[in-house]
């Protein structure tokens, strides 16, 4: 068992690779009542085209299978639903699908072992029939239609579509009503057997655990499966340039909402360092304490604090600045002027140090809550990152590096805008 200690946040990470290939990560929290378990697979909505280990032919499945599979995993033979079983045990259980992974989780203050037994059971014993697959299509179809009418979702997905022309990140995670109509039990079993192998999965536990005893307990709950080799994930080549400059959609809203996006390149080295640099830059440009935000807010152009995000995996990376404004295009003009001014004058050293301290404090706070810790370690693991790296790397970041990332990334030729505006 590997032990990694971070003295700055006073946490230890225990990592063990089981014989069946499952990676188990435990972050013990002595004396904490709440326990959290999250079991994830490196399989998300972007993985519709792949070559399974040992196969020579490419498999192409309809969009939305990863999300559909997540829904169906809870249903067990005999008509029982694992969510109902977990709820009866008094634990809070859930699941979610992203572009690059799917995760099943629960948190509990009691009944951890029976809850974990249920988690291990339904993840390792799928039950798909023609009837239960057909029934699920109606449920997921309603979910898709609901999101199509949700302004926050529309403004986000249109920003991604403006940036990307080929990458599947531009597609709805749930697929479309047409794509899910093509899903059957054979497709679900094919994707389950390919991606739900333990060697493609990770289990993260956080709470008052004794790592050695817990590892032995987890081992007892494993179904014997042969490890699989590398799964080839196949993507169309994405052009460097953006797809289109803007997408404007009219919906039933009272105030326009917008997202200004920047298409970034995918990097394989220093990804944590780059992520931190982008966070610092976003806060310097239009964060809560920035001059630009104060000016936009005082003039009535921004109605609330901007939402700032940097999303990345091994095959896409983008930045988003979102908010509400009666004049989104004017916000974009102000933003572009501020960026040009900052490039000419350079970054303010005092502001840089202050923002860096603030972000460091935010990173440390993420280690206070068992759920935040578990989800963070799981998501970072699938990106090839140890979450402790953020605590270590931020201290090494200097203003020169941040300025170089700033000049490289924040350019108008990589910028898009998505707007949802009122019908009238």
Q: Pick the catalytic residue: 19, 55, 70, 395?
A: 70
Q: Residue 97 pairs with which residues in a beta bridge?
A: 102
In 3D space, the residue among 234, 267, 206, 284 whose CA is nearest the CA of residue 408 turns out to be: 267
Which residues neighbour 277 within 8 Å (Cβ) at sequence distance 6 or greater? 397, 401, 402, 405, 406
Q: What secondary structure does DSSP assign to 258-276, as a single string? A: EEEEEEPPP-SSSHHHHHH
| 416 touches 165 (CB < 8 A) | no
First to last CA, the chain: 62
SS3 392: helix
Q: Is 113 a catalytic residue?
A: no
**Geometric angle at alpha carbon 177, from 171 and 179, rounded to 5°:** 65
Q: Is the dihedral of CA 245, 247, 248, 253 positive or negative?
A: negative
Strand ranges of the sheet holding 92-97, from the earlier edge strand across to the other edge: 2-6, 11-17, 23-28, 201-207, 35-41, 102-108, 92-97
- Active site amino acids: 70
């Amino acid at each position: 068992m590997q032990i990694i200690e971070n003295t700055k946040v006073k946490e230890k990470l225990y990592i063990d690779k089981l014989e069946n290939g499952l990676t188990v990560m435990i972050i013990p929290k002595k004396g904490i009542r709440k326990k959290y378990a999250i079991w994830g697979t490196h399989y998300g909505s972007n993985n519709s085209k792949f070559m399974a280990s040992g196969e020579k032919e490419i498999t192409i499945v309809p969009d939305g299978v990863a999300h559909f599979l997540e829904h169906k995993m809870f249903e067990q033979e005999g008509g029982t639903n694992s969510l109902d079983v977990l709820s009866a045990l008094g634990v809070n259980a859930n699941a979610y699908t992203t572009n690059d992974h799917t995760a099943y989780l629960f948190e509990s203050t009691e009944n951890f072992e029976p809850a974990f037994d249920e988690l291990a059971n339904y993840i390792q014993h799928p039950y798909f029939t023609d009837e239960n697959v057909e029934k699920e299509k109606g449920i997921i179809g309603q979910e898709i239609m609901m999101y199509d009418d949700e302004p926050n979702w529309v403004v986000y997905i249109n920003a991604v579509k403006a940036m990307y022309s080929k990458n599947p990140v531009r597609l709805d995670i749930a697929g479309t009503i047409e794509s899910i109509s093509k899903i059957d039990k054979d497709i679900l079993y094919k994707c389950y057997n390919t991606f739900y192998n333990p060697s493609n999965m990770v289990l993260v536990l956080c709470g008052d655990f004794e790592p050695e005893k817990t590892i032995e307990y987890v081992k007892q709950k494993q179904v014997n499966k042969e490890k699989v080799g590398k799964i080839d994930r196949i993507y169309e080549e994405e052009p460097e340039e953006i797809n289109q400059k803007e997408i404007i959609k009219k919906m039933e809203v009272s105030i326009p909402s917008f997202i200004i996006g920047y298409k970034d390149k995918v990097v394989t080295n220093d990804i944590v360092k780059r992520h931190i640099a982008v966070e610092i830059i976003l806060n310097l440009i239009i964060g809560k304490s920035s001059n630009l935000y104060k000016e936009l807010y005082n003039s009535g152009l921004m109605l609330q604090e901007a939402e700032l995000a940097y999303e990345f995996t091994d095959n896409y990376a983008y930045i988003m600045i979102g908010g509400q404004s009666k004049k989104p295009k004017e916000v974009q003009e102000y933003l572009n002027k501020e960026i040009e001014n900052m490039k000419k004058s350079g970054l303010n050293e005092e502001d840089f140090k202050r923002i860096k301290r603030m972000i460091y404090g935010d990173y440390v706070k993420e280690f206070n809550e068992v759920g935040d810790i578990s989800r963070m370690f799981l998501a970072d693991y699938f990106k090839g990152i140890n979450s402790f790296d953020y605590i270590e790397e931020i201290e090494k970041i200097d203003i020169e590096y941040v300025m170089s990332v700033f000049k490289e990334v924040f350019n108008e030729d990589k910028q898009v805008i998505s707007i949802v505006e009122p019908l009238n």
